[in-house]
Every structure is written in C-alpha cells, then in structure tokens.
Chains A and B, each alone.
Chain A
Amino acid sequence: MRKSVNRQSTPDVEENQEDKEPSFQELINIELIESGEKERLMELLRERLIECGWKDEMKALCRSFIKKKGRNNVTVDDLVHVITPKGRASIPDSVKAELLQRIRTFLMSAAL
C-alpha cells in the first residue's frame, strides 16, 4: 500500500505487552494530576521560590547570559540549560523540606 503520508506505523499490540502495566511512578503521577495536587504543589513551590528571591536570581542569570550571547541568538533551550544546574542547587532547604513533606503526605493518603 502506498503511503501518502510519512508516518510511523502504530506499534503492534504485542510489543506493548510488557509496558501495559503502568509503573508505580506513573501511577503516582496520574494520581497527582487527577486530584489536582500537582497543580497545588507547583503553585506552592512557585510562590516560595519567588518569596525567597530564587526566581530573581534565575532571571539575573538569564539576563547576563542574554547580554553576552546577544538578544537574538538565544533559545529557550539555552536558557533552560543555563538555569538548571544552578537552579537545582540553590533551592533553600526550608522550601525543599516543605514541599517534600507535602508530597510525602500525599503519597501516604494516595496509598491508602
């Protein structure tokens, strides 16, 4: 049959047999999203990060990178790579602890 469109053929059902069972991680993720808890956690984290000045630090990093590289040569991907290592490392411990606690609580309640 001639294909008029270049399209990946849908994977056969047999190949998927092992993956049919969603992993624990995925189940949790689904539960998080469906209950709306993920959104709440994101808002909480966003708020805390703004309060402690983390967001401003990241924006300053971006701005200096953009100045160096030139406004029109920068992609979102570049900026993500600029921010990620510093961003992950400079989360205040209190913020991280608070979020982890909330997630733990959620996991407990979800597991019941």
Chain B
Amino acid sequence: MSLPNEDSTSSTSDAQLNNIFGDLLDSIIVDVASECHRIAKLGLDRNFEEEEEEMRLSAQARVRVADPSNSSEANGKYLVDIFGQTHPPVANEIFECMNCGRTIMAGRFAPHLEKCMGKGRKARLKVTRSSTAAQTRHTRGNPGSTYSNYSNSNSTSRLPNGTSSAGGEEYSNGALEES
C-alpha cells in the first residue's frame, strides 16, 4: 500500500496521532457512558439510594460519638451498643426445656442442659431412673431391661437383666457405676 506524503511534516503526523488517539478515547468514553446508563436504567447500582442515607447516618453517628454525655461505657447498669440497644447481663428470655419440661431462663439454659442431659453423675442416674421406670412400666414385672446398665442408686445389690441371682456382683456388661 503506497502512502502519499511519507515524509510529511511532523506536525501533520502529530495531528494524525492525536486524531487516532482521540478516536480510541471517544470509543472508550461511549463504552463507559453506555455501561453507566445500563446500570442506572436496570437499577443495578445497589448503592444508588443508600449513599445519601449513609452520609446522613454517618454524620449523625459522628455527632453522637463526639457528644460526651452519651458515653457508652458503664452507662448505669447496662452497656449501650452501636445501635443504641442495651442488653441485660444475663439473657432473660424464658422457655421450656425439651428434656425435662421445666421452664428455664435462656441465660441459665446451658448449665441446666449440662445437668439435665448428662454431664454430671446425677444426670446419668436421672436418665437411668426415668428410662428404667418407663421400661418397667411397659414390660410388667420383667426386669429384663436393656437399659439398666447401672444399678439403681437405692439398691446396689439388685441385679439387672434377669441374670441369675447367684452372682451378686455380676452385671451383664461388666460396667458398673459405683454410686
């Protein structure tokens, strides 16, 4: 391809350079404008309406923080968190324990469950007693309860599982919880 004016003055070629550059730039500008237009029309800009709201809220918050009478530390009995809510030191919602059916306070629920469901010695015996009671209720007079691995706290010498009464110390699975 033969180009005329190959050795044209540099000003012309500069002009050409700038023309070409301007052309590229215009294309990119149109792209950006079109993208912004699309986002605006489709409502994809999630921050669109929130910006002003957030500016106002942050200004309010700044005022509140600067105000010394609103100190959040040890304000009376309770602490105030960033939403202005106060929380009592022990959670005080009340509901029913699903295991034993007692009404429990939420803040005391975990320790209650520990005792109720089986961390401690008393809990395990409680389970035994209630389940053996349930079992014996079903199987009348038949002491062959599969659950009674541990002796009843009242009578350590009673044999579980209908094993022969010969071996006083024998238990079906050999596990014995000394009471």
Which chain A residues lie closer than 8 Å to B37 at the CB level? 62, 74-76, 79
The distance from the CB of B113 to the nearest CB of chain A, in whole angstroms, is: 53
Which chain B residues lie closer than 8 Å to A67 at the CB level? 48
Whether B43 lies near A83 (C-beta < 8 A) is no
Q: Which of A42, A62, A75 contacts B28 (CB 8 A)?
A: A42
8 A Cβ contacts from A72-112 to B: 72, 74-76, 79-80, 82-84, 87-88, 91, 96, 99-100, 103-104, 107, 110-111
| Docked pose: A29 CA to B20 CA in angstroms | 8
Whether A32 lies near B1 (C-beta < 8 A) is no
B59 at the interface (CB under 8 A from A): no
Interface of A is mostly: helix
Whether A45 lies near B40 (C-beta < 8 A) is no
Whether B16 lies near A25 (C-beta < 8 A) is yes
Count residues of B near A (Cβ-Cβ below 8 Å). Answer: 33
| Docked pose: A35 CA to B31 CA in angstroms | 22
| Docked pose: A109 CA to B23 CA in angstroms | 20
Known: A103-B17, A111-B3. A45 touches B30 (CB 8 A): no
- Residue-wise interface mask of B (1-23) relative to A, using a CB-CB cutoff of 8 A (1 in contact, 0 not): 10111100000010011111111
| Docked pose: A38 CA to B25 CA in angstroms | 12
A52 at the interface (CB under 8 A from B): no
The distance from the CB of B28 to the nearest CB of chain A, in whole angstroms, is: 6
A3 at the interface (CB under 8 A from B): no
Least CB separation from A82: chain B residue: B33
The 5 nearest A-B residue pairs measured at CB:
A62-B36, A79-B33, A80-B33, A76-B37, A66-B40
A to B CB contacts below 8 Å, 29 in the list: A25-B16, A28-B20, A32-B20, A42-B27, A45-B24, A45-B25, A58-B29, A58-B32, A59-B32, A59-B35, A62-B32, A63-B40, A63-B45, A63-B48, A71-B41, A71-B48, A74-B37, A76-B33, A76-B34, A82-B33, A84-B26, A84-B29, A87-B29, A88-B29, A91-B25, A99-B24, A103-B17, A107-B13, A110-B1
List 19 extra interface pairs beyond A83-B32, A104-B13, A110-B3, CB under 8 A. A24-B4, A27-B1, A28-B16, A45-B25, A58-B33, A62-B32, A62-B40, A63-B36, A67-B48, A76-B37, A80-B30, A80-B33, A83-B33, A87-B29, A88-B22, A88-B29, A107-B13, A110-B1, A111-B6
